[in-house]
Amino acid sequence: MAQLFGREWTKKDLSRRMGRLSQVGGVRQFVFTDGAANGMRAAEVKTGSGLNFTILLDRAMDIGAADFAGYPLNWESGVGYVHPAYFQHGGTQWLRTFGGGLVTTCGLSNVGVPNVDEGIEYSLHGVITASPAENVRIEQCWKGEDLEISVSGTMRETSVFGPDLRMDRLIWTRLGEKKIFIEDCIINEGAENTPLMFLYHINIGWPIVDEGALFILPSKKLTPRDAESESDKDNFDTFQAPQKGFKEKVYFHKMIADSAGYVPIAVVNPKLRNMCFGIYIKYTISEMPRFTQWKMLGEGAYVLGLEPGNCTVLGRAEERKRGTLQIIHPGESKTFHLEIGIINTPEELNQISDLVNNL
């Protein structure tokens, strides 16, 4: 049953009280009409629990703005949201159209720094995020007393004489739910073995990220990316006010999964709402064995990046050199799952803290 406004409601209860369910939740499609986002399709999802989020249909169905009861969850860059027609690649040009948002997809041919692999140049974080969705489908379907809300579509990364990869994305939730579920299936529709690099770039912003925020994660080993990160590694999980001139810190974590193979991570600000407000993610370690932390506490760029993936952010050439570059064979498919949820009670915070501490 749907948990709405402090109690559970049956399908019959709700139908007696409303003419349309859109009064409390559902999906609304729209098109941006101004600035660099002009013409970009999107879908706004409301669950009725207070959780609202926007799916950028023309940007690989990435999740842009998200909030809970009016509290922002994500960081949004000064770039804002940009139509894929303006996407720039080559070197670090990816940053010129990186709007932030709750989830940005990185890959599929490269993740991380620009590099040259087998004579081919690859730009920062790849190009899949600029792929518009086709065959978009929106469903709101009752399953017993639960109303499931889903948005699905297909993106492609392909070129003549190059890779031919298809990504089928499904984003779903339920009426009254405080969680978002993402399922991505990547299929090699080409005739050649193809490297596959995939990473979820989850961008948590203020007011969750702030002085005194808690970063809860089951890390058994931390490796700084560079000298700048090494110099502050003892403070990888602490947060201070925005600093002018702050230089980004990047850490690689070796995670511990629970008995079901899931890795739970949370970021919580104990000063908000009921002395407890934040966000958690869960992902499957067998699908995404690598985890990167991006800590950027500069003025205007004040964000914590949670980045599970099947690779690091060191680039395709380095993955090949290390022997960790994953390959997807013709006709093969690989699936990735991500869960994002809200923490807004002390009991929920204690639950995930206990889970992490007992791993």
Taking a C-beta distance cutoff of 8 angstroms, is the pair 343, 278 a contact?
Answer: yes
Residue 126 lies in a domain: yes
In a domain, 189, yes or no: yes
192 lies in some domain: yes
The verdict on residue 340 lying in a domain is yes
The tens digit of pLDDT for each residue in 102-129 reads 999 999 999 999 999 999 999 999 999 9
pLDDT of residue 273: 81
Output the domain CATH number for residue 31.
Answer: 2.70.98.10
Choose among 159, 154, 156, 155: nearest CA to 192.
Answer: 159
Cα 152-184-171 angle, rounded to 5 deg: 40
Residue type (1 letter), 222: L
Instruction: Write out pLDDT tens, residues 140-169.
Output: 999 999 999 999 999 999 999 889 999 999
Question: Tens of pLDDT along 192-238?
Answer: 999 999 999 999 999 999 999 999 999 999 999 999 999 999 999 99
- Region 287-312: mean pLDDT is 98
Give the chain's domain count: 1
pTM of the model: 0.97
Q: Which residues lie closer than 8 Å to 254 by C-beta, 6 or more apart?
A: 219, 220, 221, 222, 223, 291
Cβ neighbours around 216 below 10 Å, total: 19
| Distance, CA of 329 to CA of 341 (rounded, Å) | 33
Burial class of residue 53, CB neighbours in 10 A (0-12, 13-18, 19+): buried
Angle at 131 between CA 74 and CA 139, to 5 degrees: 70
Domain contains 159 = yes
Q: What percent of the chain has pLDDT over 90?
A: 97
pLDDT of residue 81 exceeding 80:
yes
Mean pLDDT of the chain: 97
Is 352 domain-assigned? yes
pLDDT digits (tens, 9 = 90+) for 34-78: 999 999 999 999 999 999 999 999 999 999 999 999 999 999 999
- Is the residue at 35 inside a domain? yes
What are the DSSP calls for 312-328, one per residue?
-SB-HHHHHHHT---EE
- For the chain, the residue count is 359
pLDDT over 80 at 136, yes or no = yes
pLDDT of residue 274: 75
Contact between 196 and 167 under an 8 Å Cβ cutoff? The reply is no
Domain assignment present for residue 227? The answer is yes
Instruction: Quote the pLDDT of residue 162.
Output: 87
pLDDT (tens digit per residue) in 4-19: 999 999 999 999 999 9
Which residues lie below 8 Å from residue 143, measured CB to CB, with a gap of 6+? none
- Structural domain boundaries, residue 353: 15-357
